[in-house]
Amino acid sequence: MLLLLPPVLDGQLQHDSGITMFDYLVLSALSMSEDQQLHMTELAALANGSMSRLSNVVKRLEKQGLMAREPDPADGRFTFAQLTPAGLSLVKAAAPGHVAAVRRYVIGPLTKDELRSLSTIGTRIRQGIGRQHGKSGLFR
On whether residue 115 sits in a domain, the answer given is no
Q: pLDDT for 50-94, tens place per residue?
A: 999 999 999 999 999 999 999 989 988 899 999 999 999 999 999
| 99 assigned to some structural domain | no
| Structural domain containing residue 89 | 18-94
Extract long-range pairs of 75-81: CB within 8 Å, 24+ residues apart: 78/39, 78/40, 78/41, 79/39, 79/40, 80/37, 80/38, 80/39, 80/40, 81/26, 81/30, 81/37, 81/38, 81/39, 81/40, 81/43
What share of the chain has pLDDT > 90, as a percent? 82
Residue 134 φ then ψ, to 5°: 65, 30
8 within a domain of the structure (yes/no):
no
79 within some domain: yes
Read off the CATH number of the domain in which 28 is found. Answer: 1.10.10.10
Q: pLDDT band at residue 131, thresholds of 50, 70 and 90?
A: confident
Q: Is 69 contained in some domain?
A: yes
Coil, helix or strand for 137? coil
Count how many domains the chain has: 1
Residue 94: CB atoms within 10 A of its CB come to 20
Percent of the chain with pLDDT strictly greater than 70: 94
pLDDT for the residue numbered 130: 83
Average pLDDT (114-125) is 95
Whether pLDDT at 135 is above 80: no
